[in-house]
Structure 1
Amino acid sequence: MNNPIDALLAEKGILLADGATGTNLFAMGLQAGEAPELLNESAPDTIASLHQGFVDAGADIILTNSFGGTRHRLKLHKAEGRVFDLNKRAAEIARSVADKAGRKVIVAGSVGPTGELLVPLGAMTYEDAVDAFAEQIEGLKAGGAEVAWIETMSAPGEIRAAAEAAIRVGLPYTYTGSFDTAGRTMMGLLPKDIHDVVDGLEQRPVGVGANCGVGASDILASLLDMTEARPEATVIVKGNCGIPEFHGSEITYSGTPELMSDYVRLAVDSGAKIIGGCCGTSFAHLAAMRKALDTHTKESRPTLETIVGRIGPLRNKAAQENSAEAGEGRRSRRRERA
């Protein structure tokens, strides 16, 4: 498989991925309850404008507007029969923007969770999940996506199913988990174990990491665990723009361009190779992040205390702290039984 990520990393060292899709589309007119993927057909100029804003801000990687593009998510909008066409159109729009950038911009096909639980917790079999993801990725590949970008995942089995689908379709792939539950994913995956999820599959990922979650400090804590576990890996971090806050019925994010710039510097120092923004990250945030990346010289690896001191407090316990407490609890119970 052609691997555009390694090729661009060899040229640039560290890559900047784009920012938020949903947050920015809401600012551009998306209504609550509306499927963003439908805008690929009804408002393609809006989606092109989204991608153009991130390219202008300096993104090396743009993600297609296809996060909820499986049949399971699209059936909520009576569009489950349009999976291939909507995903193909998503990739075509991103491809048209990337191709006129005047520099290499990678088009990554966004693949989010199905919203279903795998057997035995739910009704979806592993084989059904692979088929659903393959249907989506076929459309993304046909539209010009170069990489399957599997993101915001919680269940290791669903990550593996999406990875197997990408291999079946013939696209290189990355995957990222959302470590938003006491330093783990909702289904219990630890950051340090992210590398091992697809062991035994025919093709390895071209990048793994974390996205979304809670806030910048929390995702940087996860990053430390991932890069410590496998320092040679291409690790992705795509954190939310500060902390989500409700103002009336609207959600805003507390992160300033200055905070996100420092997040970039700490991510570089912590060993990330691909850095971007998730929820709340605007074009202005990403432009500041580009400048920070271009002007920063890698420094010594930060401690968790350094991250908290510069970015702000953790909203969750760090994974290793949580694991240590769990281990102590088990030891205490053993002592009591003895």
Structure 2
Amino acid sequence: MDKVLLDYGSGGRASHRFVNDLFFRHLGNEILARMDDAAVLSLGGQVAMSTDSFVVDPIFFPGGDIGSLAVHGTVNDVAMMGARPLYLTCGFILEEGLPMADLERVVASMGEAARKAGVRIVAGDTKVVPRGAADKIFINTTGLGEIMADPAPAGHRAAVGDVVLVSGSMGDHGLAILSTRQGLSFESPVVSDSAALGGLVARLLAAVPDVHVLRDPTRGGLATTINEIAGQSGVGIELIEAAIPVDPAVAGGCAVLGLDPLYLANEGKCICIVPEASKEAALAALRADPLGAGAAVIGTVVADHPGKVALVTPLGGKRLLGMLEGEQLPRIC
């Protein structure tokens, strides 16, 4: 079989062969292999749960693909609640005619990403739709994790006097997707930052148990996510423009295309808001992990302009940094 056929989504013998020969081979474990209607799992205490759907175009890009992205995106959403990600489910919607080699590459990548993230895929579903009813492949993943922090980080917990950190450079994923989709090349290659942050978060929480806010700035980028936090917490936030890390290749590409890296998606970075007294410990913990080597302190939480974000420019002036208006870059996840 070299292409996906409608028969593979019928639920009959062809479906069973398809699932066994492909998905179980790359994603299999003793829980998934039971093939029950639902998985029975052991989780102690409070759990975090998140679900997300991935429709990225193109499905292969520098630094990843839709399979690894589906794992990383949901693992990160669970981790942002101060949880240890443990289990995933996955649902596939496949377009008839999708090359089987492409699908196997995606599923193999997904399995490898799950193993590296320390999670198991314990339930799943596959549907095949006629040509034109979908675009190649869509993936939905749901994640479960055991909460390690008490209280758990949350968007409403930012407090006046807190400091704002990011774990690395902004805008890498968004520009990588755009450049691949449009066939653009820059003087220096731009690679997606797609990565699972569960280990980084565990290291951070071990050093700073009372992290107030953790968020991954995906769609809408840093600017939009920070505005969401300011609104949830009813505080003002001031960011220092010169302190926000942006890879030179991303900065150069954005300058050419007229884009702002603060509004571009990230898939392997987090925003961390902690009490000022914990700033150095948090920064050291982030930088001690390879995924946080570029961590930086970028701002503070203030009492002024509650619900709004101000950007302090290199000249010392301030301007409001609003949320993303419209769709700057479609289908980035």
Q: So what's the TM-score if we normalise by structure 1?
A: 0.23
Looking at CA atoms only, which structure, 1 or 2, has the larger radius of gyration?
A: 2
Select the structure with the greater relative contact order (CA < 8 A; seq sep ≥ 6): 2
> Is the strand fraction higher in 1 or 2?
2
> Is the helix fraction higher in 1 or 2?
1
Q: So what's the TM-score if we normalise by structure 2?
A: 0.23
